[in-house]
A and B are shown apart, each in its own frame.
Chain A
Amino acid sequence: AQTVTQSQPEMSVQEAETVTLSCTYDTSESDYYLFWYKQPPSRQMILVIRQEAYKQQNATENRFSVNFQKAAKSFSLKISDSQLGDAAMYFCAYRSVNTGTASKLTFGTGTRLQVTL
């Protein structure tokens, strides 16, 4: 079974600075998808960014980018020019392409990001 580990329960960043959230995962599969979701206090789960394992190029979405290291099974999220609205829980998630597990998402335990002035 796949597992996702987020070793940083809480992080803090100053507005306009850059922060990196860590995520590692364990799998024996060669192809899969990785996601970062954001959960603000409203508790809505919002997709931030996605990465397919067979693509070497790191995904980027505006101020959000990932550092995907397949051999190390690492998938970190970098937030540049942090804004107050970035304050939230961030969840890393793994999605298998194995039809036997039928595309469920496995989540990490989350990192709470605080953004300070």
Chain B
Amino acid sequence: DARVTQTPRHKVTEMGQEVTMRCQPILGHNTVFWYRQTMMQGLELLAYFRNRAPLDDSGMPKDRFSAEMPDATLATLKIQPSEPRDSAVYFCASGLQNYNSPLHFGNGTRLTVT
């Protein structure tokens, strides 16, 4: 059963440190999304890619966040420097370009910045 794989599952870091989250989308999926989930804001879209090209990252704080897809099997989300307000669960999801195709989510990375 194909799955989206996210690493690490949990990350605790100190304020100011760099954080890198990784995602392996399902083979053959050509769209990849990064969402952030918090109690206050719910699920927010940070960035997404189609065929590895970034389409929209307007939901991402540009000064500290960056998202890339170095190849079709890897998407990364980096935060540098991290801040306590970045504490959240970060989800990666992948899907096909067809609009009726559901997004498949990874198990998320729970980030805690102290």
Contacts and interface: CB of A to CB of B under 8 A. Distances in A.
A110 B37 CA distance: 11
Interface residues of B, number: 23
A43 B89 contact: yes
Interface residues of A, number: 24
B45 A104 contact: yes
B5 interface: no
B42 A110 contact: yes
Contacts, number: 49
Contacts of A44: 105, 107-108
Interface string A92-117: 00011100001111111110000000
- A contact patch SS: strand
16 contacts: A32-B99, A37-B105, A43-B107, A43-B108, A44-B108, A47-B103, A50-B102, A52-B100, A102-B48, A102-B55, A102-B56, A103-B31, A103-B97, A103-B99, A105-B45, A107-B43
Interface of B: 31, 33, 42-43, 45, 48, 50, 55-56, 89, 91, 93, 95, 97, 99-100, 102-105, 107-108, 110
Interface of A: 32-33, 35, 37, 42-45, 47, 50, 52, 91, 95-97, 102-110
